[in-house]
Amino acid sequence: MSHGDYLALGEELRTVIGDLVRRAKVSDELPANHAMALGHLDRTGPATIAELATACQIRHQSMTAIVQQIAARGEATAERHPTDRRAVLYSITEAGRAELRRDRKARASWLAESIESHFGENTREVEKAIGVLRQLRDDR
């Protein structure tokens, strides 16, 4: 295979993965930026708006609005930063975790139904593909 062939293969994989992610997001119940912020808080613990904005790659002002909305719905709480009294740390609440679980479950359910309808009990190909995608993800 030539380098051009690998480029074409990489582009096809990028396109297919992007399409798959967009199709799975159709079943999302949370707005994407809310899910990203809650997911980050769930994975890494309390964070400032600046840290969340950087992690989610969105503007500080946009993250401020998102955090205000999730806090108003009781999905995050705010407390003063222990070492920087000017900063505020946001933490996910149990209600936020429950909403995140519902959102993730809806996405996984769509994928599960699709896998079952296309592959039935023969999921070896899917399991193999997941392994390949993990290798590509971890190759940095």
Distance CA 49, CA 51 (A): 5
The more confident residue out of 75 and 109 is 75
* Tokens encoding 129: 């593909």
Question: Which tokens hold the place of 31?
Answer: 């707005």
Are 127 and 120 spatial neighbours (Cβ–Cβ below 8 Å)?
no
Per-residue pLDDT at 140 exceeds 80: no
- Quote the pLDDT of residue 27: 66
H or E element, residue 76: strand 76-80
Confidence (pLDDT) at 41: 97
pLDDT digits (tens, 9 = 90+) for 77-121: 999 988 888 889 999 999 999 999 998 898 888 889 989 999 998
At residue 29, the pLDDT reads 74
Question: What pTM value is reported for the model?
Answer: 0.74
DSSP-assigned letter for residue 85: T
Q: Which domains are assigned to the chain? A: 3-138 (1.10.10.10)
Q: Where are the alpha helices (DSSP H) in 29-93?
A: 32-44, 49-56, 60-72
| pLDDT tens column, 14-72 | 999 888 888 877 766 788 889 999 999 999 999 999 999 999 999 999 999 999 999 99
C-alpha–C-alpha distance, residues 93 and 70, integer Å: 10
Determine the Cα–Cα distance for residues 25 and 49; give it in Å rounded to an integer: 24
